[in-house]
């Protein structure tokens, strides 16, 4: 009889302990989510230092939140700490293997580190996700990775795949233009880049790409106008420095 009472008492204590642990965990999750929300607000404001402080507080409470790990990765990307960004994007994917935004950002971090093959593996996996709502982004990123590997046929393929989905996608049009230049198909590069600057008329980088294409086709007047546009749009930037050098070479 005493044994039964002991077992009953032990069972009650165990249940109480488990309920107490579960309640404590839920409390920590709730506190973590509140801090994460503060961190995300700071991210939207562009204050990455304050965002990082809140997110690290949140991680101390509960670290197994894929959204928190993703946010930490974004903040470290913004702070140009790619090693830490990759670490947290990987943790987000470990927690939720089908968390495609984290995979996409992981691939972007690999691109920034010029780890082309690692980036390609990430983006190819994303393109197989039929539910991903913006597949032209990973396709274009594949184009950029292959462009940097000097595998221009594959770069062209993926840029064109991206443009089939979003024909006005400036990043893919720009990449396709660069790829055409690398392949010596200058007239096609000009056509792609002219379309791009119409869609994104305030991009100094795109005008610089177009100016280079005009120069290569010996259309020096158009090249001069495009280089001048770069200086107008971004007068104090490294792009403007490059444009000024090219203008001097044209005279």
Any idea what the CATH number is for the domain that residue 6 is in? 1.25.40.10
Domain presence at residue 134 = no
CA-CA distance, 131 to 125, in Å (whole number)?
Answer: 12
Domains in the chain, number? 1
Q: What's the predicted TM-score (pTM) here? A: 0.80
Q: What is the DSSP letter of 143?
A: H
Q: How far is CA 59 from the centre of its chain?
A: 22
CA-CA distance, 181 to 189, in Å (whole number)?
Answer: 6
Domain presence at residue 205 = no
Q: For 20-76, how does the pLDDT look when each residue is reduced to its tens digit (9 = 90+)?
A: 545 576 877 888 888 899 899 999 999 999 999 999 998 998 889 999 999 999 999
Domain presence at residue 176 = no
Q: For 186-199, how does the pLDDT look when each residue is reduced to its tens digit (9 = 90+)?
A: 999 999 999 889 88
Domain presence at residue 223 = no
Domain presence at residue 27 = yes
User: What domain range is 28 assigned to?
Assistant: 1-118
Domain presence at residue 165 = no
Residues 213 and 186: beta-carbon distance below 8 Å: yes
């Amino acid at each position: 009889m005493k044994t039964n009472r002991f077992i009953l008492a032990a069972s009650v204590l165990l249940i109480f302990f488990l309920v107490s642990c579960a309640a404590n965990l839920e409390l920590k999750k709730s506190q973590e989510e509140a801090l994460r929300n503060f961190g995300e607000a700071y991210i939207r404001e562009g204050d990455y230092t304050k965002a990082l402080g809140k997110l690290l507080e949140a991680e101390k409470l509960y670290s197994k939140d894929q959204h928190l790990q993703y946010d930490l990765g974004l903040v470290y990307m913004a702070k140009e700490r790619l090693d830490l960004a990759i670490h947290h994007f990987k943790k987000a994917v470990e927690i939720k293997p089908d968390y495609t935004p984290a995979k996409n950002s992981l691939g972007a971090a690999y691109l920034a580190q010029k780890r082309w093959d690692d980036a390609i593996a990430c983006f190819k996996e994303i393109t197989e996700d039929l539910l991903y709502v913006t597949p032209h982004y990973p396709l274009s990123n594949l184009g950029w990775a292959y462009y940097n590997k000097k595998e221009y046929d594959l770069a062209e393929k993926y840029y064109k795949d991206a443009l089939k989905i979003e024909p006005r996608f400036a990043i893919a049009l720009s990449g396709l233009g660069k790829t055409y230049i690398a392949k010596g198909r200058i007239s096609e590069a000009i056509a792609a880049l002219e379309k791009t600057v119409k869609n994104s008329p305030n991009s100094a980088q795109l005008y610089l790409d177009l100016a280079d294409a005009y120069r290569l086709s010996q259309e020096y007047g158009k090249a001069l106008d495009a280089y001048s546009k770069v200086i107008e749009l971004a007068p104090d930037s490294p792009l403007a420095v490059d444009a000024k050098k090219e203008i001097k070479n044209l005279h």
